[in-house]
Amino acid sequence: MEPTTSDKIGITASILCLIHCLAIPILFTVSADTLHLVDHEMPIVDYIFAVVALVAAYLSGRKTTNPKIKLAFGIGWALFILGVLLHDNPYLFALLHIGSIILIATHLKNIRSCRIKSKNQN
C-alpha cells in the first residue's frame, strides 16, 4: 500500500501552515515598522489551512486501521482548529503549532504504516 495522496497533502499543508504562522508575524512586524501598517492579520489563510488539514486528516484516518493513528489525527486537528479559533490569545495560539506538528508526525507515521503493510503483503 503506497502513501495516500491525503497524507502528502496533509504534510504539505501542515508544513506550509507552520511556515506561514512563524514567518508572517516577523514579516509584518518589519513591514509595520517600516510602512506604518496597523492591521496585519490574515485569518482567512488559517481557515483555509484548517479545512485542508481536516480533509487530509479525515481521508487518511478513514483509510487506516490503526486506532492510535485515527486518534492522533483527531487530536492534532482539534488542537489545530482551537489554535486557529483562539489565535488572539498568544498562549492558546500555540495550540495551532502543536496541532500542526502532531498532524505532520501522524501523516508520516501513517505513510510508514502503509509502507510496512505493503511490504508484508508482498
pTM reported for the whole predicted model = 0.70
**pLDDT given at position 94:** 82
Interhelix angle 5-35/43-63, nearest 10 degrees: 170
pLDDT at res. 40: 43
* Mean local confidence (pLDDT), 52-59: 82
Q: What's the confidence (pLDDT) of residue 110? A: 85
Mean pLDDT, the chain, rounded, equals 75
Q: What percent of the chain has pLDDT over 90?
A: 9
Cα–Cα distance list, 8 to 52, 70, 93 (Å): 12, 16, 25
Cβ neighbour number for residue 33 with a 10 Å cutoff? 9
Q: What is the largest CA-CA distance in the chain?
A: 62
* CA atoms within 13 A of residue 48's CA, in its CB half-sphere: 9
**Exposure of 12 by Cβ count < 10 A (0-12 exposed, 13-18 middle, 19+ buried)?**
middle
Q: What is the pLDDT of residue 30?
A: 52
Q: Which has more confidence, 82 or 49?
A: 82
Give the mean pLDDT of 10-22. Answer: 73
CA distance 122 to 103: 29
State pLDDT tens for residues 71-92. Answer: 999 999 899 889 888 877 878 8
Among 28-32, 86-90, 104-108, the minimum mean pLDDT is found in 28-32
